[in-house]
Structure 1
Amino acid sequence: MEVYFIRHTTPLVDKGICYGQTNLELAPSFREEQEKVIKELPTSFDIVYSSPLKRCFHLAEKLTGKEFLVDDRLMEIDFGDWEMKSWHTLPREELETWMADYVNNAPPGGESMLTLQQRVLAWWSELEPSTSRKIAVVTHGGIIRTMNAHLNNLPLSEAFTKFQIPYGGIAVFKV
């Protein structure tokens, strides 16, 4: 089974803003970015999954031209009370506590990386393995990093430090 995890294209949000599950619009560069992504992918997939957030959903529509499956478990990490606030204005004590152990600590009203991993792995466990299947998953950086850590037996604490994926980036895993 080949699984193509595709990060959404550039969202329409100012740099330095904390967003996770906020349903952002796409940047004006969407058409150009999506054409680049599509050129790097196989011409067809057996199944396509997408986060319900617009920044993923619209790319999934362009990939398939047909129906695809939307799953809430593929949404980005929930930053709770920090959503749409500047990283520089977050309460210093809250931010330091989270940064000291983001695997187990959650932002106020949000979720930890461990919680994110648990919901993504619940989705993953429902996939039926098959050597002949090609699956596309249009999702977010946090999801892709979490899956990379899981599939490569890396500690979750290294998910953000050992693996980077740009907007429109593709990570392929053969499982």
Structure 2
Amino acid sequence: MRLTLARHAQPLVAAGVCYGALDMPADLQATQQAAEALAQTLSTGVRMLCSPLQRCELLAQTLQGLRPDLTYKTDLRLREMNFGRFEGQRWDSIAPGLLDEWTANFWQHRFGGVESVAELMARVASVWGEALSSAQPQVWITHAGVIRAATLLDQGVRRIDRAQDWPQAAPAFGQWLVLPPHPRTNAGG
């Protein structure tokens, strides 16, 4: 399996705003530039899955316009984490105690009341498992949180109890990373 994890281009949202599942467009010029660069790296026959949020679909559609051989399918499992009542709020306006509650129970706490890290990891693990069982190269057009979850899964990590163990690194807007193929084990000897 060769998996390319591509992050949408810069969303049209003010800096410092919590926008996980908030559906907003991405910058058109930045999306075009990202698509042009990514289109050159993708092999023929790659399977493209896309978050249903418009900032990701715009990149998938732009890629498809440049490379008609590429088609995409939206997959709800690739959407960003949902921060519930905090969506659209400035991070610095969220009471520090609420952030502390989340970090104290990082795996199970539903920050914003909708989704926990455990639930995010479970849905990403589901699509990850399908990708591992496929010999077809894939590209996911998705979000930083999903990419971070996938990199943990790639390392064999299935659970994160401490907030400080959540990966900080992720591709910049409009960038991607490629996870190399992993050798398959032969259980039969």
Q: Which residue of the partner structure matches residue 160 of structure 1?
A: 167
Residue type of the partner of 1:77?
M
In structure 1, distance between residues paired with 2:77 and 2:42? 25
Q: Which residue of the partner structure matches residue 6 of structure 2?
A: 6
Whether the 8 Å contact between 1:45 and 1:136 is mirrored in structure 2 is no
Whether the 8 Å contact between 1:49 and 1:136 is mirrored in structure 2 is yes
Whether the 8 Å contact between 2:11 and 2:25 is mirrored in structure 1 is yes
Is 1:137 aligned to residue 140 of structure 2? yes
In structure 1, distance between residues paired with 2:170 and 2:9? 15
TM-superposed CA distance for 1:111, in Å, is 1.2
Structure 1 stretches of at least 4 aligned residues deviating more than 4 Å after TM superposition: none
TM-superposed CA distance for 1:121, in Å, is 1.1
Q: Which residue of the partner structure matches residue 20 of structure 1?
A: 20
Helix, strand or coil for the counterpart of 2:113? coil
Residue type of the partner of 1:109?
G
TM-superposed CA distance for 1:68, in Å, is 1.3
One of 117, 122, 140 as aligned partner of 1:113: 117
In structure 2, distance between residues paired with 1:99 and 1:20? 17
RMSD of aligned C-alpha atoms? 2.0
Structure 1 residues 97-141: Cα deviation after superposition (integer angstroms, max 9, x where no partner): 11334332221322111110001112222346244x211110111
State which drifts further: 59-68 or 3-12: 59-68
In structure 2, distance between residues paired with 1:11 and 1:114? 26
TM-superposed CA distance for 1:67, in Å, is 3.0
Is 1:78 aligned to residue 82 of structure 2? yes
TM-score, with structure 2 as normaliser? 0.81
TM-superposed CA distance for 1:34, in Å, is 2.8
Q: Which residue of the partner structure matches residue 153 of structure 2?
A: 150
Helix, strand or coil for the counterpart of 2:9? coil
Whether the 8 Å contact between 2:6 and 2:171 is mirrored in structure 1 is no
Q: Which residue of the partner structure matches residue 44 of structure 2?
A: 44
Whether the 8 Å contact between 2:8 and 2:31 is mirrored in structure 1 is no
Q: How many residues align?
A: 172
Distance 1:35 1:130, change over 3 A: same
Q: Which residue of the partner structure matches residue 33 of structure 1?
A: 34
In structure 2, distance between residues paired with 1:35 and 1:159? 31
Runs of 5+ consecutive residues of structure 1 not aligned to the other structure: none
Runs of 5+ consecutive residues of structure 2 not aligned to the other structure: 183-189
Alignment of 1:55-74 (within 5 A): 55-64=55-64, 65=68, 66-74=70-78
Identity %: 27
In structure 1, distance between residues paired with 2:144 and 2:134? 25
In structure 2, distance between residues paired with 1:100 and 1:169? 32
Q: Which has the higher strand share?
A: 1
